[in-house]
Structure 1
Amino acid sequence: MPDPDIVVVGGGMVGLASALALGERGLAVALVDPGEARARTSYGNAGVLSRGSIFPMAGPALWPKLPAYLRNADSALRLNHAHLVRVVPWGLHFLAAARESRWRRAAAALVPLTTAAYPAHERLAERAGTRARLHRSGWLKLYRTETAFAGAALERAILAEHGVALEILDGAALRDREPALVRPYARAMLLTETAALSEPGALIEACERLFSQTGGRYLRGAVTGLAPEAEGWRVAYAGGAVRARQVVVAAGAASAEILRPLGYRFAFAAERGYHRHYALHPDSPPLTRPVLDTGAGSIIAPMGEGRVRVLSGVELNARGAAPDHRQIEAAAREAAGTLRLGGPLDNQPWMGSRPSTPDGMPVIGRAPRHAGLILAFGHGHIGLSTGPITGELVADLATGAEPALPLAPFAPDRLLRWPRL
């Protein structure tokens, strides 16, 4: 077959959206991915598409919780202490980013991206035939005590500064809005400019079908080499090799490993997460929107047909390490006090790895030292929600168009020239 114009490495939400946007611009596209649907982070997402998802993990609220995090005494974060040595550069810069000034700067940079995310999802859903899976329901952040609610005052202030719409609910109003909740909460914040996507994996499957139907070449196999050549790039993978003038690396948590032989050393870590599906009790009202229980550090999201997805907090561990189910088991116990749950619907919890940058912002832009190489990874917790708009930005870069959004905050070289701490 003739060589494509461009190769996209990675078949998650960012990679597929990029491949589809590039094809829509008239380019011949090949996509290289191992083809393991359940292994993709997009598959295991909570399905929250929120304009208010503008806060990196590294923020000023980290410091009072740090001793508990280091002892694995807070269910929101679990550390493999032996692995921390391998991510020291990431960890040092992560801590350096946990200042209010840096948090505010990141939020301001992410607002244009998250604002454009939902319209881009609508455009993609229309093409892929998945519009019925998008629900503009909002999502809830739940606070068990007035003290916990007061501790999130800075977050609410920054959201207000950027015009993100929200409502504050007391316990009685929360029960009226979401009668499925049985645990008493002191307060809740309803982010109204939020959509929920039921079954994120079904969207990924629909995008794969659309890619093939519109002439894309799907090459199944893990990438084993990426090398510049006189006329472009050679991408080697488990099933062979493909050449193109341009290449997009959108391989999520595997991106840093793929780029390392080219001399790029990104401060990068993989955040592992888990989920498991549970049936709601037959007598329970349905859960109508995703909820984040800040007291448990976990999310519960409706997935249709009387079932919910319980998602754990963050685990810092090697991508290939054996699963550690203690965190998702703790999340499930807490969820059983929040909703009337039935039994688990999965034999084993799902596990995936989110690509995490120290400053909590994705890498989107041209590689600084190689022509024809575009990078699009590191989206952390917002890869599913901002994947479609990232794909459109990648297509802008590949075709020489002016990017629809400012990309300077997401420039790859910001992670290659860290200032002194």
Structure 2
Amino acid sequence: MATDGTADIVVVGGGMVGLASAIALKDRGLDVVLCDPGEARARTSYGNAGVVSRGSILPMSSPALWGKLPAYLRNADCGLRLHYAHLPRIIPYTAHFLAAARASRWRRAAAALLPLTTAAYPAHERLAARAGTGDRLQRTGWIKAYRTEAAFAAAALEREILASHGVAFEILDTAALRALEPALVRPYARGMLLTETGSVREPGRLIEACEALFDALGGRRLRSHVARLAPEAGGWRIDHDSGTVQARQVVLAAGAASGAIARTLGYRFAVAAERGYHRHYALHPDSPPLTRPVLDTGAGSILSPMGDHRVRVLSGVELNARRAAPDHTQIEAASREAAGTLRLGGPLDNAPWLGSRPSTPDGMPVIGRAPRHTGLLFAFGHGHIGLSTGPITGEIVADLATGRTPAVPVAAFAPERLLRWPRLL
């Protein structure tokens, strides 16, 4: 097998988390190899809504799950689509997820995530300035829109937890929401504007700029799939499609593929791939622009501005095998709903985009050292906040790899918590 030589550290995965880690490690003076197949459109970071919010502290495993469970099980709620043939493969994940859907666990996760999300926007600013993409990052806030007063009232616990942690937001009535976002033609009953929020226009362009920055710093990239991580004396051997590279340390930041790679080393994480879709539409020429991302809670989808009078429509969550054929049911439903919310033209894509989020059942990422292998670091499982918290995660990874104490506490993100069968009581 051909060899690509040696390195101080290999980062497996070239999404936002992997790239930010590789750049931060280069900043610490390490010889870094980034291993990723280079399929830009396949990365979850590419298809993100672009939201970077201090308020992203509430996991999907909400206490409200129990009231929605009958609709979820019938695939009658557009926010979630289940493929039952896949469910036996994610039993540990499902058990953990149900166990986490309690108010006490929700509050605990929010407290753990707050330091990470608080540091997220400043870290994005630092990285964007270096990558020359500062103009793509704007502190516009983002909106959660409610179609009925009942839906708004049902989210009272969310607002209470946000307020208890000092996360700023404003409540908008129908008129105030229309005045703030005149592009919205649907008469929502209420809106919540999270003001401590920015958004990244065209996240894929940010990823490309970070790749260029890593190259300029002298980093090495291998456009290849990693087949195996093998511990050996003094470090690691990383086998990939076309050869092998040896390093003292490895960072596993391969998103939804991380669980499968970790299993080759005996780590069986309770994680799942949350599949999601998006499609781009042009706004009608006479429509005002959409200026900030909007979560339509009634449709279970997000509308996000992408510049040039374009909007990205993003679907809810699909639980299915990563490599399964696309199922456009959700994105088609989201697009129909979006047509009643914005004045849309025709789709700008030949087919909807599909990607897989690396999801943990408690909604918190896996960041930390492997419990059974020296020199192996995990940095994956960020779910819906991978783009948002990727830059600060990269700084944390660099701290851990160089023996420093991270500025953000990471004990709650320890890998060990997802390696044990969940206690349901």
Q: Pick the TM interval, shorter chain.
A: over 0.9
For residue 225 of structure 1, what is the aligned residue in structure 2?
Answer: 228
- CA separation in 2, counterparts of 1:93 and 1:416? 11
For residue 75 of structure 1, what is the aligned residue in structure 2?
Answer: 78
Asked if residue 166 in structure 1 is aligned to residue 169 in structure 2, the reply is: yes
Per-residue deviation at 1:408?
0.6
For residue 386 of structure 1, what is the aligned residue in structure 2?
Answer: 389
Q: 1:101 aligns with which of 95, 104, 119?
A: 104
Q: 1:89 aligns with which of 89, 92, 111?
A: 92
Per-residue deviation at 1:93?
1.1
Question: In the alignment, residue 70 of structure 2 is paired with which amino acid?
Answer: P
Asked if residue 351 in structure 1 is aligned to residue 354 in structure 2, the reply is: yes
Q: Is the 1:196–1:289 Cα contact (8 Å) retained in structure 2? A: yes
For residue 312 of structure 1, what is the aligned residue in structure 2?
Answer: 315
For residue 156 of structure 1, what is the aligned residue in structure 2?
Answer: 159
Q: 2:363 aligns with which of 360, 363, 375?
A: 360
- CA separation in 1, counterparts of 2:188 and 2:233? 62
Gaps of 5+ in 1: none
Question: In the alignment, residue 10 of structure 2 is paired with which amino acid?
Answer: V
What secondary structure, in the 3-state scheme, does the structure 1 residue paired with 2:221 have? strand
Q: 2:404 aligns with which of 397, 401, 406?
A: 401
Q: 1:111 aligns with which of 99, 109, 114?
A: 114
Per-residue deviation at 1:278?
0.0
Asked if residue 22 in structure 1 is aligned to residue 19 in structure 2, the reply is: no
For residue 376 of structure 1, what is the aligned residue in structure 2?
Answer: 379
- CA separation in 1, counterparts of 2:341 and 2:419? 43
- CA separation in 1, counterparts of 2:310 and 2:268? 42
Q: What percent of counterpart residues are identical?
A: 79
- CA separation in 2, counterparts of 1:178 and 1:113? 29
What secondary structure, in the 3-state scheme, does the structure 1 residue paired with 2:340 have? helix
Deviations 1:133-178 (A, max 9, x none): 0010000000001000000000000000000000000000111100
- CA separation in 2, counterparts of 1:80 and 1:117? 33
- CA separation in 2, counterparts of 1:324 and 1:191? 32
- CA separation in 1, counterparts of 2:104 and 2:210? 38
For residue 189 of structure 2, what is the aligned residue in structure 1?
Answer: 186
What secondary structure, in the 3-state scheme, does the structure 2 residue paired with 1:338 have? coil
What secondary structure, in the 3-state scheme, does the structure 2 residue paired with 1:270 have? strand
Asked if residue 11 in structure 1 is aligned to residue 14 in structure 2, the reply is: yes
Asked if residue 417 in structure 1 is aligned to residue 420 in structure 2, the reply is: yes
Q: 1:277 aligns with which of 268, 280, 290?
A: 280
Q: Is the 1:11–1:35 Cα contact (8 Å) retained in structure 2? A: yes
What secondary structure, in the 3-state scheme, does the structure 2 residue paired with 1:272 have? strand
Deviations 1:290-312 (A, max 9, x none): 00000000000000001000000
Deviations 1:233-266 (A, max 9, x none): 0001112110000000000000011011111011
Per-residue deviation at 1:417?
2.5
- CA separation in 2, counterparts of 1:123 and 1:324? 38
Asked if residue 286 in structure 1 is aligned to residue 295 in structure 2, the reply is: no
For residue 136 of structure 2, what is the aligned residue in structure 1?
Answer: 133
- RMSD of aligned residue pairs (Cα, Å): 0.7
Per-residue deviation at 1:391?
0.2
Per-residue deviation at 1:72?
0.4
Runs of 4+ in 1 over 4 A off after TM superposition: none
Q: Is the 1:252–1:355 Cα contact (8 Å) retained in structure 2? A: yes
Asked if residue 336 in structure 1 is aligned to residue 339 in structure 2, the reply is: yes
- CA separation in 2, counterparts of 1:10 and 1:187? 40
Asked if residue 259 in structure 1 is aligned to residue 262 in structure 2, the reply is: yes
- CA separation in 1, counterparts of 2:390 and 2:36? 16
Per-residue deviation at 1:182?
0.2
Question: In the alignment, residue 248 of structure 1 is paired with which amino acid?
Answer: V
What secondary structure, in the 3-state scheme, does the structure 1 residue paired with 2:237 have? strand
Q: Which range is displaced more, 308-317 or 410-419?
A: 410-419
Asked if residue 240 in structure 1 is aligned to residue 238 in structure 2, the reply is: no
- CA separation in 1, counterparts of 2:214 and 2:268? 32
Deviations 1:76-110 (A, max 9, x none): 00000111111111101100110000000001100
Q: Is the 1:220–1:239 Cα contact (8 Å) retained in structure 2? A: no
Deviations 1:205-247 (A, max 9, x none): 0011111111000001100110001010000111211000000
Per-residue deviation at 1:358?
1.0
Q: Is the 2:99–2:423 Cα contact (8 Å) retained in structure 1? A: no
TM-score (norm 2): 0.98
What secondary structure, in the 3-state scheme, does the structure 1 residue paired with 2:264 have? helix
